[in-house]
Amino acid sequence: MSGANFVQLMLSGLAMSAIYALTATGLFVAHLATTRMNFGQGEFLMFAAYLSMALLLAGVPVLLVVAAVIVVLAMMGWGLERLAIRPLDRLRSLAGGQYSWVLTTMGVALILQNVVTLVWGKSSQYSPPLFSANRQNVVQFLGVGVFVEELLVIVVALVAILIFYAFLYRTRQGRAIYAVAFSPETASLLGIDVRRTVVLVFVMASVLAAISGVLVGPIVTVQPHMGLVFTVKAFAVASLGGFANPLGVLVGAIIFGVVESFSNYVNSAFGDLYPLLLVMALLVIKPSGLFGEAKTDVR
Amino acid sequence: MIVLEKVSAGIGRVQILRDVDIRVEPGKLVLVLGANGAGKTTLLRVISGIVPPWSGKLLFGSDSIAGRPAHELARLGLVHVPQGRQIIPTLSVEENLVIGASHLPGITKDAIERRLEQEYARFPVLKTRRSLAGGSLSGGEQQMLAISRGLMMAPKLLMLDEPSLGLAPQMVQRILGALSGLAKSGISILLVEQKTMALEIADQVHILKNGAIVHSAAAADVRDPQELFRHYMS
Amino acid sequence: MSADKHASPWPRNGAYLAMATAIFAFPLLVGNTFHIHIAQTLLYTTIAVIGLNMLLGLSGQMSLGQAGFYAIGAYGSALLTAKLGWPIAAGMLAGILLAGLAGCLVGLIALRTRGLYLAMATLAFGFMTEIAAQRWVDLTGGTMGVYGIPALDFGSSKMGKTYFLWVVGAAYLAVQIASDYVMSSRIRRKLLALKENESAARTTGINVPVWRTMVFAVSSLLAGTAGVFFTHQNAYINSDAFTLGLTLTMLIATVIGGLGTSYGPLIGTLITLMIAELIASLYDVSFLVNGLILLSVLLLFPQGAIGLVQKVAGLFRGAAREGTPEVAQSGSFSAFAPGAAPASAGPTLVIESLSKSYGGVVAVSDVSLSVDRGTVHALIGPNGAGKSTLINCVSGLYRSDSGRIQLAGKDVSHLPAHARARMGLARTFQNLQLVNSLTVMENLQLGLRSTRSIPADFSSWLLSDAFEREERARALDILRQFGMAHLASAFPEDLPYGHRKLAELARAIAEEPIVMLLDEPVAGLNDREAQEISGVIRRIRDAGTSILLVEHNMDFVMQLADRVTVLDHGERIAQGAPAEVQKDPRVVEAYLGAPLEASSATPAEAVS
């Protein structure tokens, strides 16, 4: 492998890491506050990618596209909580046992995937680039030609993650999430509206899927089945980080994306499966992930 | 300030409180003593809106508060410092202090700063620990933090659930001293305890046994705490 | 679920016979090969759904990877027979075993983690098998598929489909019978206990990780069985068949039929197949329809089809269930027979300098105590003194940091909770750990030690009208001594609190323990109920069982205890006869705080 190859692979890996980090952070934040999450997180990303592609192709300016996709997905997150999560508390649903929410959120994902297929068709499509005139535009980076889109996806995702951290750690709503995560009862004694906070985390998870969806368009092919791939990988990433803190998720994403990039290079047929196998093996050896406390018990 | 009339409550089908009458006037400190399992915690949880009462009247000022959600009551100034402090371990001391106050309607940044300084003056140790994680404080420091966190919300009624639990006697004295001062400043305080140390700062004392009040007296009339021991141990 | 539920096995066996007859006659009466094909598909898919039903409905574990096990069974048998020329039977068996083996491997994750991680690990597993089937073209042929798979037609192209249906039908019936046995035997009780309440399961002697993994492996074995039949039904497979859609169809069949019910899988599979046929022409919206079904079943009819039928039927039966259950006629059994305690005198439970801390906080520090045979030892102390921690260390739910625990002379310090339970250590919990989806009777049966092997138990269930009669008689006997015989078929949640406390105590007695640990046996009870419990505990003690109890009700402790140990801040501050301990100034201080004189330092200085 040449040095140039190495840098390119690294960068491609990091671009995917950035997407995984955003998507997995969405799973993480919902799980943090509610111990539940959207098993259709990947389908939300897929839907955002299609929506963004359609708007870009219609000639809508990029910033407007981003804003529109975020607004639509935020509303979908709100709807998901109202439709597929909250009613289960009232019903104390017996059907799926304590994991009814896994099935309801997957049900929503199925519907979404079908709607996308009906609207945009089954075949893979190429989303227009966000940052440059051509998907294949290359700039010199560390003396190596790298794709502009990949480079900028990393930058934008990083900015988005930093904004998310700032929200989580620096605003009262963000701290309210930690209070609810610690104890919903204590949170309500501190004047925090727990129900609103729960809605908020699902909205945030969807917004993170929205950003990932917009960013992922130009670096992969967009197709209706991509959702499952991202759900599975985002969960693997969050498990790698142990669902313990957002930094663990970020480190997990970096490891996962880079390993995947190199294993794809080594074995183009099954390279994308190796990191998943590694994570599953890790879960057997260290059930709480790389950064989780030994007592972390994800139920 | 707060009036309970014939309040009964329970969890699931299990009745815990039976026809409890309690009244806390502004600036008074009312102490409820009881053994484990007597219903002390449930009493506070009913008042703060976490457990809905089955029957009876709950008045805050002149408004009925039965059935209102806990976070609304907290914002109205009905502040409950729960048992075991419940400091949010992942947030810093200062973040813990601010978190309740920041959810009050219409509060300004200045007001929060002012209250923060006030609390740092009350418990200077919190200022020295301000950027440490809440989980790293000692039990006594956490209790001070819990009380200050409640006070940051400008309570009209402050309820405390066994603040002395697990603290050394000296630390308990500091906490009780602070509570006594707060009552004098006009805040109503409802304190539930297992131990009788708080008697000397209380105005009124009730003994809770098996969910019912079995004995009420002005704190000044209680001479011998052994007598109280008889009331709730036997 | 009344006590005489198992009175006669013949109505049930009649149903099996009727189904067998129907399966036999169906292909002979219906000439249409398409309908025979559908019937085949229904039966083998039901086999997989039964596995999922046990996994999700009884053990409460979620698998999103059933299609993966199905695929492993299918490809295993397909490749062995088509490429290596194995005989069909050998290939099928190998395919099924391969799926079971894969289940054991994935089940390792279930062993270490649970819940959410398992759901996701299985989703990842299903995803990986799907990808492997698509892309590992050298092996699987990808979307082109595997050709040359022998059909299971016994060499007859004319009668082949009929024979296949009979074979699948026999397999289905065997699995259905096995599943019915599981659902009405001690296996169901154990699985529900570990689903609902792991602590209760462990302290009644259930090896939780082993059971959890076993159910997972069985469910994957059954999914593999369906895959094997699928392969030899069509004599051709390709990767399109093994997608997440298949897993979801099976999940939908499970919940739509009624989770945890006996015939739910059959009904659910029938409904999903019918829907699939109906929307075959609307292939474009199949996901949409499936998603909507999933949502509406979970949100609107969470009890599923069987549940709905039962509900409607229940409206007519109504009061019948409230009737008093039969009172078993066994006279001589003594409910309070302790287990094989050593005849020698001396303590049956010895705790030697036990310590336990969490995250640097010492909860129990160097505590020693011993409980003599046939005595009541009370553990008291203020909140946070470490009493519950101590009880949890003794029962094995927590591992102590140091110190030794001896039960009837044997060191059990390093044994897990379920092993200690089997050696004669029973306990009750402060916050009640009854299994709510089991009746009072069944909760007691959970405590009873079974002496029959599984095959003996199975044949008794299948053939005898005396299945578990003895166990039920014993359980009822214990309940009668508690004055609760009439509540045998009630569910714990429908009982008043006092009765639930009694039921939990009765379950502990059913274990015939040498030592009983009671965590706040009268908390939340009124005086009369406390008296009742006190009487029961006395009788247990008089029968020779040793009791260690934690309690705050002092009247109760002082009346009942032979010895008392007082803990404060994790340390033993007093030990002795109740009257001595009550007078000990350190005890009064622990409860009331420092004497008032000493605390009259000016509190005012502390305020800023």
The answer to whether A111 faces chain C, any CB pair under 8 Å, is: yes
- All residues at 6 or more sequence positions from C276 whose CB lies less than 8 Å from its CB, including other chains: C249, C286
Distance of alpha carbon B24 from alpha carbon A115, whole angstroms:
60
pLDDT at C71 over 60: yes
The answer to whether the Cβ–Cβ distance between C115 and A106 falls below 8 Å is no
Distance of alpha carbon B125 from alpha carbon B122, whole angstroms:
9
The residue among C210, C208, C203, C211 whose CA lies nearest residue C420 is C203
pLDDT at C155 over 50: yes
Number of H helices, E strands in chain C: 24, 10
Residue C396 region, left (φ>0) first, then alpha (ψ -120 to 50), else beta? left
Confidence of residue B184 (pLDDT cuts 50, 70, 90): very high
What number is the average pLDDT over the span C109-135? 83
For residue C154, the SS3 value is coil
pLDDT at C326 over 60: no
Axis crossing angle, helix A148-170 with helix A246-266, rounded to the nearest 10: 160
Nearest CA in chain A to B104: A191
Neighbours of chain A (3+ CB pairs under 8 A): B, C
Question: Closest approach of chain C CAs to the CA of A148, in angstroms?
Answer: 30
pLDDT at B71 over 50: yes
Distance of alpha carbon C33 from alpha carbon A56, whole angstroms:
52
pLDDT at C244 over 70: yes
Distance of alpha carbon C276 from alpha carbon C249, whole angstroms:
9
Question: Closest approach of chain C CAs to the CA of A194, in angstroms?
Answer: 22
Specify the amino acid at residue C344.
S
Radius of gyration for chain A, computed over Cα atoms and rounded to the nearest angstrom: 19
Pair C193, C435: CB distance under 8 Å: yes
Question: Closest approach of chain C CAs to the CA of A84, in angstroms?
Answer: 7
Which has more pLDDT, A261 or A290? A261
Q: Which tokens belong to A79?
A: 């709807």
Pair A158, A18: CB distance under 8 Å: yes
Q: What are phi and psi of C588, to 5 degrees?
A: -60, -40
> Can you say whether the dihedral through the CA atoms of C386, C391, C396, C397 is positive or negative?
negative
Domain ranges of chain C: 11-245, 333-339+346-424+512-523+544-594, 433-509
Tell me whether residue C546 is exposed, middle or buried, using C-beta atoms within 10 angstroms of its C-beta: 0 to 12, 13 to 18, 19 or more. buried
Pair A107, C291: CB distance under 8 Å: yes
Question: Closest approach of chain B CAs to the CA of A296, in angstroms?
Answer: 15
Q: What are phi and psi of C527, to 5 degrees?
A: -60, -40
Residue A141 lies in a domain: yes
User: What is the per-residue DSSP string for C267-328?
Assistant: HHHHHHHHHHHHTGGGGGGHHHHHHHHHHHHHHH-TTHHHHHHHHHHHHHHGGGGGSPPPPP
> Among the listed ranges A95-104, B121-130, C101-110, which one has the minimum average pLDDT value?
A95-104
Q: What percent of chain A has pLDDT over 70?
A: 95
Question: Closest approach of chain A CAs to the CA of B205, in angstroms?
Answer: 25
The answer to whether the Cβ–Cβ distance between C286 and A95 falls below 8 Å is no
Which of A183, A190, A193 is facing B99, going by the closest CB pair?
A: A190
Confidence of residue A293 (pLDDT cuts 50, 70, 90): low
Which has more pLDDT, C560 or C155? C560
User: Was domain C333-339+346-424+512-523+544-594 assigned CATH 3.40.50.300?
Assistant: yes
- All residues at 6 or more sequence positions from B209 whose CB lies less than 8 Å from its CB, including other chains: B34, B35, B38, B231, B232
The answer to whether the Cβ–Cβ distance between C607 and B122 falls below 8 Å is yes
- Name chain B contacts of A192, Cβ cutoff 8 Å: 71, 99, 103
Which has more pLDDT, B169 or A167? A167
Distance of alpha carbon C203 from alpha carbon B208, whole angstroms:
34
Distance of alpha carbon A46 from alpha carbon C439, whole angstroms:
47
Radius of gyration for chain C, computed over Cα atoms and rounded to the nearest angstrom: 29
Pair A149, A16: CB distance under 8 Å: no
Interface size A-C, in CB pairs within 8 Å, comes to 153
Number of H helices, E strands in chain B: 8, 10
Residue A99 CA to chain centroid, in angstroms?
21
Residue A112 is predicted with a pLDDT of 95
- All residues at 6 or more sequence positions from B162 whose CB lies less than 8 Å from its CB, including other chains: B40, B83, B192, B193, B194, C383
User: Measured at the alpha carbon of residue C522, what is the angle toward residues C521 and C523, in degrees to the nearest 5?
Assistant: 100
Pair A148, A155: CB distance under 8 Å: no
pTM over cut 0.95 = no
Distance of alpha carbon C510 from alpha carbon C337, whole angstroms:
9
The answer to whether the Cβ–Cβ distance between C599 and B197 falls below 8 Å is yes
pLDDT digits (tens, 9 = 90+) for C336-382: 554 444 445 578 899 999 998 876 678 888 999 999 988 999 998 87
Q: Write the DSSP symbol of residue B133.
A: B
Residue A297 lies in a domain: no
- Name chain A contacts of B71, Cβ cutoff 8 Å: 187-194
The answer to whether C599 faces chain B, any CB pair under 8 Å, is: yes
Residue C253 region, left (φ>0) first, then alpha (ψ -120 to 50), else beta? alpha
Residue C327 region, left (φ>0) first, then alpha (ψ -120 to 50), else beta? beta
Task: Write down the mean pLDDT value for chain A.
Answer: 88
pLDDT at C572 over 80: yes
pLDDT at C582 over 90: no
Residue A96 is predicted with a pLDDT of 54
Pair A294, A288: CB distance under 8 Å: yes
Residue A2 lies in a domain: no
Number of H helices, E strands in chain A: 12, 2
Residue A263 is predicted with a pLDDT of 92
Q: Which tokens belong to C31?
A: 């000439």
Nearest CA in chain B to C493: B13
The owner of tokens 């009259």 is: C600
What number is the average pLDDT over the span C225-254? 90
Instruction: Encode burial over C169-186: b for 16+ CB neighbours within 10 A, e otherwise.
Output: bebbbebbbebbbbbbbb
- Name chain B contacts of A188, Cβ cutoff 8 Å: 49-50, 69-71, 74
Q: Write the DSSP symbol of residue B130.
A: T
Confidence of residue A231 (pLDDT cuts 50, 70, 90): very high
Confidence of residue C6 (pLDDT cuts 50, 70, 90): low
Nearest CA in chain B to C386: B166
Q: Which tokens belong to C344?
A: 């020698």
Residue A7 lies in a domain: no
Its domain, for residue A187, covers 18-223
Which of C493, C497, C594 is facing B169, going by the closest CB pair?
A: C594
Which has more pLDDT, A177 or B34? A177
Residue A265 lies in a domain: no
Residue A73 lies in a domain: yes
What number is the average pLDDT over the span A23-47? 93
Task: Write down the mean pLDDT value for chain C.
Answer: 83
Residue C269 region, left (φ>0) first, then alpha (ψ -120 to 50), else beta? alpha
What number is the average pLDDT over the span C170-187? 92
Residue C605 is predicted with a pLDDT of 37
- All residues at 6 or more sequence positions from C32 whose CB lies less than 8 Å from its CB, including other chains: none
Pair A268, A24: CB distance under 8 Å: no
- Name chain B contacts of A191, Cβ cutoff 8 Å: 71, 74-75, 100, 103-104, 153
Residue A194 lies in a domain: yes
The answer to whether the Cβ–Cβ distance between B37 and C524 falls below 8 Å is yes
Confidence of residue A239 (pLDDT cuts 50, 70, 90): confident
pLDDT at B152 over 80: yes
Distance of alpha carbon B29 from alpha carbon A285, whole angstroms:
55
Which residue out of A83, A94, A98, A273 would a mutagenesis test of the C interface target, given it has the greatest number of C Cβ atoms within 10 Å? A94
Q: Which of A236-245, B69-78, C77-86 has the highest mean pLDDT?
A: B69-78
Contacts 24+ apart (CB under 8 A), C82-85: C82/C146, C82/C147, C82/C148, C82/C149, C82/C150, C83/C146, C83/C148
**ipTM confidence:** 0.93
Q: Can you give C313-380 as a three-state secondary structure string? A: HHHHHHHHHHCCCCCCCCCCCCCCCCCCCCCCCCEEEEEEEEEEEECCEEEEEEEEEEEECCCEEEEE
The residue among C393, C433, C435 whose CA lies nearest residue C416 is C393
Residue A98 is predicted with a pLDDT of 74
Residue A13 lies in a domain: no
What number is the average pLDDT over the span C210-236? 92
The answer to whether the Cβ–Cβ distance between C298 and A236 falls below 8 Å is no
Confidence of residue C598 (pLDDT cuts 50, 70, 90): very low
**What domain count does chain A have?**
1
Q: Which tokens belong to C239?
A: 């990767």
Distances (CA, A) of C142 to B145, C76, C137, C160, C417: 63, 14, 5, 28, 49
